[in-house]
Amino acid sequence: MNAIKTVGVLGGMGPDATVDFMAKVIAATPAERDQDHIPMLIDHDPRVPSRQDTTPAEDVTIREMLAAMAVRLEAAGADFLVMVCNTAHGWLDLALERTTVPFVDIVEVTADALTARHPAVRTVGIMATPACLEAGLYQRVLESRGLASLPAEGRARRDLMRLIDRVKAGDQGEDVAAGMAVIAQGLVAQGADAVIAGCTEIPLVLAAEQLPVPLISSTDELARRTVALALGEATLQSRRHLAER
């Protein structure tokens, strides 16, 4: 039997999403006692500047902070790295330059789950932050798989960001969930036959049951892949697709 791998987690963006990810890793691990569980090193740093409407100076700070976290996690013994924030995946260049262990891309992992479990889907609604949508993180990956993207636009995009900010402020109330469901249903009305929750705050309030089409949660898929990788049931991939961004 191979030893369980140690996961390095770039977290705190936001805090509740990181805890949600950890809880999902633990729940997805077959374990009878503490010692069966997956070791995780978590750098939970909510001080990383907001990834929305960044200035060039903030861009540098985000890139440097993420790189410092990754370097520290690798030095502390992480066998691979994950980051519990979709949007921040657009600022990973320095982190990738300065570390050598595999970095699991939440966007690829989420797209993998979508295509594996729902092969008939053709048009994918994307719920994510404005910065994530403007960077095209999901659109590019979906296009490379021959899928059409339907990102939240205009007022829906702005409303979604306000709801995400309410979750970040600790509000997981029913009206936040209802507001997100309205946005998801709007994407379905426009033709989406699946919706990606491409921001780790969304699955804290929006449930698959609220939609008539499959909802793919980036947090859940990252947790599932993390468990498979740590237990040696999946193979770590090259970091090429991340480095090419």
Is residue 227 a contact partner of residue 25, using CB atoms and an 8 Å limit?
yes
**Is 228 near a second copy (CB under 8 A)?**
no
Check residue 204 for interaction with a second copy (CB under 8 A): no
Give long-range contacts, CB 8 A cutoff, 24+ apart: 53-62: 53/130, 53/131, 54/131, 59/91, 62/88, 62/91
The pattern of x and - marking residues 1 through 40 that bind a second copy according to CB under 8 A reads ---x-------xxxxx-xx--xx--xx---xxxxxxxxxx
Q: Which is nearer to a second copy, 40 or 104 (CB)?
A: 40
Q: What is the x/- site pattern for a second copy, positions 147-166, by CB under 8 A? A: ------------------x-
CA distance 42 to 111: 24
Query: According to the binding rule CB under 8 A, does residue 229 interact with a second copy?
Result: no
- Interface size with a second copy, residues (CB under 8 A): 38
Is 71 a binding residue for a second copy by CB under 8 A? The answer is: no
CA dist., res. 17 & res. 202, Å (int): 9
**Interaction pattern, residues 76-115, with a second copy; x per rule: CB under 8 A:** x---------------------------------------
44 is a site residue for a second copy (CB under 8 A)? yes
Structure tokens of 221? 């898929």
Q: Which residues contact 45 (CB under 8 A, 6 or more apart)?
A: 10, 11, 12, 13, 65, 69
Residues 6+ away with beta carbon under 8 Å from 226: 7, 25, 38, 82, 104
Binding of residue 169 to a second copy (CB under 8 A): yes
Minimum distance, C-beta of residue 106 to a second copy, in the bound complex (Å): 17
